[in-house]
């Protein structure tokens, strides 16, 4: 009798340890002996313990901050620029199987693209056409991440820090322009 009870408890534990819940906004990538089997949809999912594993992937829009990058613009003005990337995983199996850490890879691509794009334009263009520069960065990063099953939705330039002497020069120029207009009036 005790053997049957112990066997029943072992079977119940075996069955219940293999139950996983995949939420509506996530997908589960199922592996059997380390080999991709299928993508699990939302709901209760059963896996065979020890033999199968799942990796959960969030398919919502993910926001990632681009760290401040020191950029030398086309007109040789050093500036510190940062931004935000919005991306979404459209193909979870590719995102897991094609690249080791997709968040880190997107961060590195975004930083490199920010430096490249801002280094090819003048400071006035960066200050006046942030949306256009963000669009160019988005296109570059999106083209690179498309084979990974990731769609970059948008890139926004958040902040542009100029050197202190450049700020003073711009303030002096604005003051001179205001006093010139005042004389004309």
Say if residue 140's pLDDT is above 90: yes
| pLDDT bracket for residue 14 (50, 70, 90) | low
Mean pLDDT within 74-92: 91
Give the pLDDT of residue 16: 63
CA atoms within 13 A of residue 162's CA, in its CB half-sphere: 16
Q: Are 150 and 95 in contact (CB under 8 A)?
A: yes
- Domains of the chain: which residue ranges? 2-58, 62-168
Q: Which residue has the tokens 């100029």?
A: 162
Whether 134 and 85 have beta carbons less than 8 Å apart is answered as no
Q: Is the pLDDT of residue 123 over 70?
A: yes
Q: How confident is the model at residue 139 (pLDDT cuts 50, 70, 90)?
A: very high
Q: Where are the alpha helices (DSSP H) in the chain?
A: 2-17, 92-97, 102-119, 123-128, 130-145, 164-184
Mean pLDDT over the full length of the chain: 86
SS (H, E, C) 87-140: EEECCHHHHHHCCCCHHHHHHHHHHHHHHHHHHCCCHHHHHHCHHHHHHHHHHH
For the chain, percent of residues with pLDDT exceeding 70: 90
Does domain 62-168 correspond to CATH entry 3.10.450.50? no
| Per-residue pLDDT reduced to its tens digit, 147-185 | 999 999 999 998 888 777 666 666 667 677 777 777 777
Look at residue 44 and tell me whether its pLDDT is greater than 70: yes
Count of C-beta atoms within a 10 Å radius of residue 17: 12
Instruction: Check whether 35 has a pLDDT greater than 80.
Output: yes
The pLDDT, as a whole number, for residue 97 is 92
């Amino acid at each position: 009798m005790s053997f049957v009870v112990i066997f029943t408890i072992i079977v119940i534990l075996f069955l219940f340890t293999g139950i996983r819940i995949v939420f509506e906004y996530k997908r589960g990538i199922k592996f059997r002996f380390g080999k991709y089997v299928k993508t699990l949809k939302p709901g209760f999912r059963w896996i065979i313990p020890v033999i199968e594993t799942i990796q959960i992937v969030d398919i919502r829009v993910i926001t990632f901050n681009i760290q401040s990058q020191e950029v030398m613009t086309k007109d040789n003005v050093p500036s510190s620029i940062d931004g935000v990337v919005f991306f979404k995983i459209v193909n979870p199996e590719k995102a897991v199987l094609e690249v080791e850490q997709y968040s880190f890879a997107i961060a590195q691509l975004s930083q490199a693209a920010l430096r490249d794009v801002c280094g090819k334009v003048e400071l006035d263009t960066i200050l006046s056409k942030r949306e256009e520069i963000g669009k160019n960065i988005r296109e570059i990063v999106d083209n690179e991440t498309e084979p990974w099953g990731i769609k970059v939705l948008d890139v926004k330039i958040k902040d542009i820090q100029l050197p202190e002497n450049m700020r003073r020069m711009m303030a002096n120029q604005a003051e001179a322009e205001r006093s010139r207009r005042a004389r004309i009036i």
